Structure formats: C-alpha cells, structure tokens
Structure 1
Amino acid sequence: MLALAARAERWPLAAAFVISRGSKTEAEVVVCEIADGAHRGRGEAVPYARYGETIAGVLDQIEGVRGAIEAGADRAALQALAPAGAARNAIDCALWDLEAKRAGVRAWVLAGRARLDPLKTCFTISLGPAEAMAEAARANARRPVLKLKIASADDLDAVVAVHAAAPRARLIVDANEGLTFEALRRLAPDLAKLGVKLVEQPLPAAEDGALEGYASPVPLCADESLHTRDELAACARRYGLINIKLDKAGGLTEALALADAARGLGLGLMVGCMVATSLAMAPAMIVAQGAAVVDLDGPLLLRRDREPGLVITGSVLEPPSPDLWG
C-alpha cells in the first residue's frame, strides 16, 4: 500500500519576476510525495494562474485521486484520473521518482535514455523599463542565451538596450500573449535585425489563428497555445516550435509523448518551466535532451534553492543526484 502526501511551499525570489500579465516576489509550489515504506518519490508543480489554477485547487485535485494512487494506480492510469495541469504533474513526477528508486535505476533509463547530458539554460530578464532590463542583461552578459519579457511593440527600445548591454548573448523575446497581430508584423523585422532568435507566444492563444500563412522573419514558438498533444496539430500550422512545460502537459509522461509527436510533425522543441526549485527542473531535463531551446532557469531566479538542488555552473545544469529526484 502506498501513502500519498502533498503540501504547499513558498520560495522567495531574488528579485520581482515581471511578465505582461503581472508580477510576483515568491514561487508558490506544491510538492507531492508518494512512499511505499522503503522508498519515497517526489514531484513539484506550480499552479498556473493563467488557467485558473490555485494552490488550494491543486491540493484538492491531488486529494481527489489519493485513493486511486494509494491503491496502486500507475502513471498510465493517472492520465485518465486527472486533467493536464499542475496536480497531475506533481503526482506523475512523484511516481516516476518512486519507480526509479524501486527499480534501482535512474529515471532517464526508464524513459529510454542511456544517459542524461548537462544542459545550457536561458536566463530570463523580467519586464521593466529599458534601462533596468539593460542593467540586468549587463549583469548576465556572459550567459549564452537571455530571454526578455515584453508586453507590447513599444518594448522594442528594451530589446535594443539589452542587445547593446549583452552583445554576445543570443536573445529570445517572450511576449506572453501581449501583442496584436499587427504589432507583431511591425515588430518582427526589427527583432530580426537585432539578431533575435525566437519570439515566444506573441499573440493571445485565442487569436493565434492569425498566424496561419504568416511568414515571420523570426521563428515563432507556441507556449500558452500548447498544453498537450490535443493542440499540436493547430500549433503546427502556426508556429515553428513549441514550448513544453510539465505543468501544462500534466507531467513527464505526457511531456515525453508530446515531444515525440512534435518531432514527428517537424516542430522544434523548447522546454520551459515555471519559477520553481530544482525539484521541478529535474524531470524536465529528460524532455529537454536535444531540445533547440532549454529554459529551465527557475532555480536561478530564487533567493535560495532546495537542498540538495541541481548543480548549476553559470547557465549549465548538471544531471540531478538521486537524492534530489529520479
């Protein structure tokens, strides 16, 4: 018989994290633990306010499937027990961790990988005045990839300032649904001239049908428009890449299936995260192997990380230790 426990945790951020929809100063996460008496598996997830998720709601969802999990429901059964989202992610990752510890092998071996390679992650520059964003970029100019949050076409000056402050860094722009189609059409040529490599979720998800047939001078990546394989066909008509996040997909199980399906359609992969600790990043590293863009900088944005956490040198994430996950 298994025992399931779940709790909420708060982790202060090193600085306010600001995007087009608002700001926060702490990461609110839910940790799920599943134990069999000899082994314990853990998973961490972040309720996605964009989709109406809350800490209380995620804990309620986990409680709703407690009986089935404690009776032995596996990862395959879980996919039908809970919808895609943070609650299923926390449980799914805990089940992966528990299975790996019971089997005495690493989780990536269970996922069909012989090894897990270190990854270079983006580093996020929060939305703010151009001078403040340039200052943050200057402080992180040695990182290989900077991701800039913008809210409108008026933020081009911030992109210019960041490019000047960190001229050797590759730049990604993330609008978090903040642009109109016309604003994107005006902005994209200037972003291309600045060497921006990717624009993430430029339009509101409900309006991205306008992208069909649009030849953007900068590759476009779906984020809020893409959760699971159900949205994949529509995204393939509108974007060149998709951003897979475990909290959207509802766990590592669906994320791996989504990645395989996306590759089959010729889509490039970005693997992202919510602001969370290393416990949330560790399973995402499996999906991120070979991804075009890795955006798993959550722990770098915290005042302090979980112990033990991932070993991070600059922007390089080392594979997790078994004490952390998997």
Structure 2
Amino acid sequence: MISSTKLLHIHGDDFELLAIQQSIPLKQVFRIARGAKTSAQVIVVMIKYQGLVGWGESVPYQRYGETIESTISAIKAVSTHAKRFTEFADTIKAHSQGAAQNALDCAYLDLQAKLTGKAIEVRFNLSKTQTVITAQTLSIDTPEAMAEAAKPFAEAPLIKVKLDNIDIIEKMTAIHTMAPHSQFIVDANEAWSIEDLRQCADELAALNVVLIEQPLPTGKDEALASLHIDIALCADESCHTAKDLPSLLGKYDVVNIKLDKTGGLTEAVTLAAQAKVMGFDIMIGCMVGSSLAMAPAFLLSPFAKYIDLDGPLLVKEDRLVSFDIDNGLMQPFSKQLWGGVSHECNIEANQLFALYS
C-alpha cells in the first residue's frame, strides 16, 4: 500500500502548493550496481490555481546528491520566490534543478494544460505518441536467479539487464538461454572498467546485447573515445541536460534522457532536439516510480530509438489511472492521468490535495 506524508504546504498570493512524500512498495527487491531498494521514495508536487490542480512526480537520487530533504528545500525556495502563479515558470528554472525541478515543472505543465485547454504536445510541438516497445528490467542477482527472473520475459522484444562487473558473461548467458529471441540493454551504472568492456563486448554482442548503458564512471569515460566495439554505448549518468552533449561526442552513440536528470519535460524537450541534431540516438529512461512519473517522459517517445519506462511494472500499487503494458508493448496513456485539458481530469490529484491540504 502506498503511504503518504505531507512535507510542505504553501499559500501564495493566488495559488497553493502542496508537496508529499510517497513510499511505493516494489513487487520485489530491485538491485543495481550501487545498491538495492524495496520501495520507491517519490515526491509528488501539486499546484492549485483557479480551482484546478496540476501534479508531478519525481525521485530524489542519492547518486546526484539529492535527498528528500534537499528536494523539499528547493521546492520551498521556488514557491517562496514565486508569489503569484504567473511567476512560476521563470522561478522554477532559476531556483531548482533535478528532482525538485522535475516535480515542479511537470505539475506546472499539467496545470497549464487545463488552464489553457491546450495539450502539452501542442505546447512543445511534439509528434503524436504511438504504441511503443519498452524495455523490461531484470535487477542484479546470481546467474541462476536472473535466469529464473527472465522466464516471464521469454518472448519480450527488449529486456534491460542490470549488471555489475561480477560474472558478466555468465549472467547474460543464463538470461539469453531463457529469452533467446530478445534483444538486451545492459546497464552497468558506472560499475565497469574499460578492461571489463573490452573483454566482454564481443561475447555480449553474440548474446543479442544491442546497447550498454554507462559502463564507466562519469568523468572517467575518456577511454571510450578510442574504443571500437559492435555494441552501441549510451550515456546515462554522464548526460543530464543539453549542456552535457558536446562532452559526449565521440564517446557515446546514445543519450538516456530522464526527467529527474533534466529537471522536467521542458528541458528534456530541448535536450532531445539538440541530441538529434548532433547525431545521437535517444533513449527515454526513468527512475523507479509510478505511471505519473512515466507520463511526461512518454511524450518524448517519438524522438527515441529505445524506451525504458517500465516503472509501473516494478511497483505493487500504481496510480488510479495507469499505463497499459503487455509483454513490453506500452500503450499511450490516458490524459485522465496527466496532461489532460478537461477540468474533470486528475481525479487522484484532486483527492490527494483535498486530503493533505
């Protein structure tokens, strides 16, 4: 069951802002190279103006120096600088970043859609979304346990595998045996060395691995410039906003766009457009969260070669309105979840606001 705690409630001159922390239990332990979790700790921001409520969800990430407390502090700074709702757009950008900015930006955009009657796709001149293939994620375990976990994905078109640098080939071979026709993304989360990459690249390619995410630590990836392998390399931790793109040229083929890194959809659109111009392929990724966090990111799917928005499959309980994902096929979301222009949208957001305000 999702548990909620009110952390912030601010009354501006003509708006209210409410921020709550929610603990969303996961279906099973989720392990990556730098740790494990049994729940997603998310921040939900709600902004109320002219009787309407917009909402957004983010995940403060310790890898980037974020905590629940620091995120709430940044949200408070924005809401105290913006005395009126019309000041929000500029203030969000000036006084926040990362997870705080993401929750604020997405709540603001959701509310603007209702106020203006204009869809967010129109606001950003985005193409219409279609059904896509999303990766489905396996977390780190023993080769035997990872093979067992891969059984339900036997016919999945795309599987993402979290791997540290222990038994890389043994684990991928075990998984490939269970899903021989799938393509794989391997996510190392900065845990490999250049030697690890050189030694395993050919064998991974033979096991249908088509992409490796962030094999080397950020700031130590210069060695990738002289590496030539048959698998595309994706920048994750090394790519946050558009300003990072020049430093990635010649080292990476793909950039992973996550709204918690860009600070929301507004900067993510800029990053996606500039990345395309500079010749990068795009992956749309996520932290572990609910369908509410996936919805704004999904609007970027027409830009992307790879989609990794399977957060809703990892949680025990999702939003009242959620994504439909079947064997990796992810349908466009209902605007009753987020971004709808009707006053009747966001039933859950209105319920949460009424409950905690």
TM-score by length of 2: 0.88
Query: Mind listing any 5+ residue stretches in structure 2 that lack a counterpart?
Result: 1-13, 340-357
Matched residue SS, 1:220: strand
Query: CA offsets per residue over residues 19-74 of structure 1, 9 Å max, x none?
Result: 00010000000001111132111110000111121111111110111123452224
Question: Residues 153-302 of structure 1 correspond to what in structure 2 (within 5 A)?
Answer: 154-302=167-315
Task: Please tell me whether the aligned partners of residues 78 and 91 of structure 2 are also in contact (alpha carbons under 8 angstroms).
Answer: no
Matched residue SS, 1:188: helix
Aligned to 2:103: 90
Aligned to 2:130: 117
Tell me, yes or no, if structure 1 residue 307 matches structure 2 residue 334.
no
Partners of 2:329 and 2:288 in 1: CA distance: 17
What is the aligned-residue RMSD (CA, Å)?
A: 1.3
Task: Please tell me whether the aligned partners of residues 42 and 289 of structure 2 are also in contact (alpha carbons under 8 angstroms).
Answer: yes
Letter in 2 for 1:325: W
Task: Please tell me whether the aligned partners of residues 125 and 137 of structure 1 are also in contact (alpha carbons under 8 angstroms).
Answer: yes
Aligned to 1:79: 93
Task: Tell which structure's C-alpha radius of gyration is larger.
Answer: 2
Aligned to 1:41: 54
Partners of 1:67 and 1:323 in 2: CA distance: 30
Aligned to 1:127: 140
Task: Please tell me whether the aligned partners of residues 284 and 306 of structure 2 are also in contact (alpha carbons under 8 angstroms).
Answer: yes
Matched residue SS, 1:24: strand
Letter in 1 for 2:92: L
Q: Compute the displacement of 1:213 (Å).
A: 2.2
Aligned to 1:320: 333
Partners of 1:118 and 1:304 in 2: CA distance: 23
Partners of 1:101 and 1:76 in 2: CA distance: 19
Report the count of equivalent residues: 325
Query: Mind listing any 5+ residue stretches in structure 1 that lack a counterpart?
Result: none
Q: Compute the displacement of 1:208 (Å).
A: 0.5
TM-score by length of 1: 0.96
Task: Please tell me whether the aligned partners of residues 2 and 69 of structure 1 are also in contact (alpha carbons under 8 angstroms).
Answer: no
Distance 1:98 1:70, change over 3 A: farther
Partners of 1:158 and 1:24 in 2: CA distance: 21
Matched residue SS, 1:205: coil
Letter in 2 for 1:257: T
Letter in 1 for 2:332: P
Matched residue SS, 1:212: helix
Distance 1:199 1:114, change over 3 A: closer
Letter in 2 for 1:134: A
Task: Please tell me whether the aligned partners of residues 164 and 189 of structure 2 are also in contact (alpha carbons under 8 angstroms).
Answer: yes
- Aligned-residue sequence identity (percent) comes to 43
Distance 1:69 1:136, change over 3 A: farther
Partners of 2:266 and 2:146 in 1: CA distance: 36
Partners of 1:253 and 1:76 in 2: CA distance: 12
Partners of 1:92 and 1:222 in 2: CA distance: 24
Partners of 2:118 and 2:144 in 1: CA distance: 49
Letter in 1 for 2:96: A
Aligned partner of 1:21 among 34, 39, 48: 34
Matched residue SS, 1:17: strand
Letter in 2 for 1:242: V
Task: Please tell me whether the aligned partners of residues 4 and 70 of structure 1 are also in contact (alpha carbons under 8 angstroms).
Answer: no
Q: Compute the displacement of 1:15 (Å).
A: 0.5
Aligned to 1:6: 19
Q: Compute the displacement of 1:114 (Å).
A: 5.2
Partners of 2:162 and 2:127 in 1: CA distance: 36
Partners of 2:156 and 2:316 in 1: CA distance: 19
Partners of 2:302 and 2:16 in 1: CA distance: 32
Query: CA offsets per residue over residues 149-168 of structure 1, 9 Å max, x none?
Result: 11005221000011110011
Q: Compute the displacement of 1:126 (Å).
A: 0.4
Partners of 1:284 and 1:69 in 2: CA distance: 26
Task: Please tell me whether the aligned partners of residues 273 and 296 of structure 1 are also in contact (alpha carbons under 8 angstroms).
Answer: yes
Task: Please tell me whether the aligned partners of residues 137 and 162 of structure 1 are also in contact (alpha carbons under 8 angstroms).
Answer: yes
Query: CA offsets per residue over residues 174-231 of structure 1, 9 Å max, x none?
Result: 1000100111111111111212100110001121011112112211000011111121
Q: Compute the displacement of 1:319 (Å).
A: 2.2
Partners of 2:174 and 2:127 in 1: CA distance: 43
Partners of 2:152 and 2:42 in 1: CA distance: 28
Letter in 1 for 2:95: L
